[in-house]
Chain A
Amino acid sequence: MMSTRNNNARTVIIACILILIMTTSGCHDAIEIDEMVYVVAMGLDRGVEGNIRMSMLLAVPIAVGVGPEPGEVDKATTMITVEAPTIFGGMNIANSMLSKQLNFSHAKLVVISSDIAQRGIERYMNTFNRFREFRPNTFLGISKGPAEDFLKTSKPILEANPAKYYELLMESWEITGFSVDSYVKDSYADMRSIDSEAVAALLDVNRLEDSSEFKKILGEPINDQKTMEGDYTAESVPAIFDSKSMNMGAAVFKGDKMAGELNGRETVFYLMVTGKLQDAYFTVPDPQQGTIGEDNEAKFVSLRLNLARKPVIQVEMKENIPHITVHILLEGIILTSEGEKDYSTGEGLKQLEDFSAEYIRKDILSFMEKTRDEFNSDICGVGKKMKQKFLNWDDWEQFHWAEKYQNSIFDIVTKVSIRRTGMKIKQIPMSDAK
């Protein structure tokens, strides 16, 4: 039995402490949800005199709404643009204009214009990593044009909620392969480390107004080949939609500075080499190029590709030159085969596998060479493999991998295995039947 007196004392102590805490606290940090306004996406542009121009896309809760009537899409977001020397300076200006307090904890996307990116984004990355409200899982995008325009023209038409719109837009690479997953935390880690370089999604406003303007883009073929579906970067894609924002290709960094850009097709190869490719529709020309039909139009085979296993990257130093071997094993499904020849069985299947492997190998090689010659940036993380050959951090640091990379020699080995052929197991040309 506890003595009552003792127990009383305990209750009194607890009561005292509680009262003390309550009276002294006054709920410092408590803030109601409706006293804040939530930034969904933020754009950074270069302003005058080295200032930054911040555009913040705000969610308007009443319009996003709940209850019986759906929200109004047009009013779901509103934008505020301010100019200040720092991000927090901009936030202060914005807060003095807005009735509610800005909150970044639900921001989904940070768009930085390539103008800024080319000068280096280290200081912004540091901001994003230090302040609690900026999330490590925010998407990072580089817009070719002004970020402000990008945010202004993007409209969540299929969603009521703008945050969902940006998330889904930035995740579209998982099914297309035309863009990259670029979280702030990953980009920061890559910029910070000396064994790999960062990439970020490439965004822009699609400036085409009408499908008649497609000619402008599709005018001349690239590399003497037919322009394939991924051969664009974000600003010029033959597509017309109410929302003009486009997510295609990738911005390549060297250190914290943007070094160049990849188009959609090259991004697929980037994903292949880094092992991030999820599932992508991929088009290869009909292996029997000679059999172009009477209509004299190119025929294609569409595959759905994914990585059969993680790519194997090997590095060897020979005479101070890195020899890099990349083994890529893809597996796929035939989605369609337009030509007359049937690639579903036997010989044909083998022919298609070999052809597409070689086709992809060539493209990957040219992509790798582009990273070496044009960007001089090891975005595929070959350095991570090199690093494992070292025991001490200091030795690795003094090895200066980044300098070595520009002399490297590539050897790409690819293999494509077609596992399934879709709903058909063979295809009989119509001409045969007639």
Chain B
Amino acid sequence: MERKIKIGNFEAACLLLNMISSKIILDFPRTVAEDAGTAGWLMTLLVSVAVFAIFSVISKLYKKFSGQDILDVGESAFGTVGKILAGILFLVQFLLIIPVILRGFAEDIKVISLASTPVSLVMLLFCAGMVVGAYLGLETLVRIHALLVPLLAAAFTVISIMNIPNFEFSRLAPWLGRGAETILKEGVKNLSIYSELIALFFIMPFLHKKSDFAGIGRYSLFFSALFLVFSSMCYTLVYPYPATTEYFLPMYQMTRAIRLGRFFTRIESAFIVIWAFSAFLYLSSGLYFLTWIFQKTFALQKRKPLILPFTILVFTGGIIPENLYSTLQIEMELYRSVSWIITFLLPLLLLGIATIRSRNKKRKEAAE
């Protein structure tokens, strides 16, 4: 077993922040533009508020179980069967998204710079970082998050600031985009933007101050909401609406648009490093959670032997989609429409039942 892991609040928040916001680099600004037109940022804002509300309900329920991860809660709700079932659901969720993200980042890099390198090789490069990260464990991972996530945030801010000359505020009009109804309808599906928040429920036992988990969640939710809303807003400000749905990589497209004088232009390649950092961080923590959930669900003694098989699984899963479009489809249509249920409804269910059961127990004890 690994030695006792302790995670500070800042590190945990950084981990969540990157896990939630790394989709900005992939396709997030485009997908919300597709869903809500010029009001993508508004929809994101509404979704964030909704998630905030849901999260405060969850954290209230969780207070009793602080120090336990969601699988433990599942165990106290439905026994070992509950734990295993919940574990399998989470596993499926991670196994669905991580290969897609891996493939997505690899395709990104292929489009951006390594046009003739085979995609499997780019994926292999990502896997290399991923394996080392997952191998060295959660503590190292969160530390490196604390180091790199501020850097990523700074880079994102720099991109936005440098794009200010390209901003045109009338591009946000019409203000409701594709209509209020569409925003609400698509908004439910887009709750999945925050599906990585689930990671908080897994790192719960490792937190330095267990009672701070709600604060960490709120902190990371607030900042990721800030970045998500801001990114989709900036993107809409830089490119007009129908064109916003055309570009494969919104953030990259924004960096391409930067031109500050004759010298300071064509700097988008420098941001490859930033994209790659975000990808490495996301993927290695994803792989870590995959192995960790598996270990925890099936009560295994060791985690590290799982890394290689799961890497192979993820890698293979990443190669399966035939083309870029089907990768996007899996992410947008399948994953998006399901994952919010697993992230928000399942924990709510487990917590609710566990609370009732523990209350019953207490009552019984009191009665006895």
A and B: direct contact (Cβ < 8 Å)? yes
Q: Which residues of A come within 8 Å of B, CB atoms?
A: 10, 13-14, 17-18, 20-21, 24-25, 28-29, 105, 129, 132, 135-137, 164, 167, 171, 183, 185, 188-189, 192-193, 195, 381, 384-385, 387-388, 390-396
B262 interfacial contact with A, CB 8 Å: yes
User: Measured between alpha carbons, how far is A421 from B257 in the docked complex, in Å?
Assistant: 39
Q: Interface size class for chain B?
A: 35 or more
Inter-chain contacts of A395 with B (CB < 8 A): 174
Say whether chain A's binding surface is mostly helix, strand, loop, or mixed: helix
Considering the complex, give the chain A residue whose CB is closest to the CB of B174: A390
B244 vs chain A, min Cβ distance (A) = 10
Q: Which of B23-31, B108-116, B195-203, B222-230 contacts A (4 or more CB under 8 A)?
A: B108-116
User: Measured between alpha carbons, how far is A195 from B173 in the docked complex, in Å?
Assistant: 11
Inter-chain contacts of A135 with B (CB < 8 A): 256, 266
A-B interface contact total, Cβ < 8 Å: 94
Q: Which residues of B come within 8 Å of A, CB atoms?
A: 37-38, 111-118, 121, 124-125, 128, 131-132, 135, 168, 170-171, 173-179, 239-243, 246, 253, 256-257, 259, 262, 265-266
With known contacts A387-B174, A393-B178, A188–B243 Cβ distance under 8 A = yes
The one of A21, A137, A387 in contact with B128, judged by C-beta atoms closer than 8 angstroms, is A21
With known contacts A14-B132, A193-B241, A393-B177, A21–B124 Cβ distance under 8 A = yes
User: Measured between alpha carbons, how far is A387 from B168 in the docked complex, in Å?
Assistant: 13
Inter-chain contacts of A14 with B (CB < 8 A): 132
The one of B114, B121, B124, B174 in contact with A396, judged by C-beta atoms closer than 8 angstroms, is B174
Inter-chain contacts of A384 with B (CB < 8 A): 168, 170-171, 173
User: Measured between alpha carbons, how far is A380 from B113 in the docked complex, in Å?
Assistant: 37
15 residue pairs A–B, Cβ–Cβ below 8 Å: A13-B131, A21-B124, A25-B121, A135-B266, A136-B253, A137-B259, A137-B266, A189-B240, A195-B240, A387-B173, A388-B173, A390-B173, A391-B174, A393-B37, A394-B179
Inter-chain contacts of B125 with A (CB < 8 A): 21
User: Measured between alpha carbons, how far is A392 from B266 in the docked complex, in Å?
Assistant: 36
- Cβ contact within 8 Å between B241 and A136: no
A401 vs chain B, min Cβ distance (A) = 12
- Cβ contact within 8 Å between A136 and B256: yes
Inter-chain contacts of A183 with B (CB < 8 A): 259
- Cβ contact within 8 Å between A28 and B37: no
Inter-chain contacts of B121 with A (CB < 8 A): 21, 24-25, 28
User: Measured between alpha carbons, how far is A381 from B246 in the docked complex, in Å?
Assistant: 22
10 new A-B contacts, CB < 8 A, other than A185-B257, A388-B175, are A10-B135, A13-B135, A25-B121, A29-B117, A132-B112, A192-B243, A193-B240, A384-B171, A388-B173, A393-B177
The one of B117, B173, B242, B262 in contact with A28, judged by C-beta atoms closer than 8 angstroms, is B117
Inter-chain contacts of A137 with B (CB < 8 A): 256-257, 259, 265-266
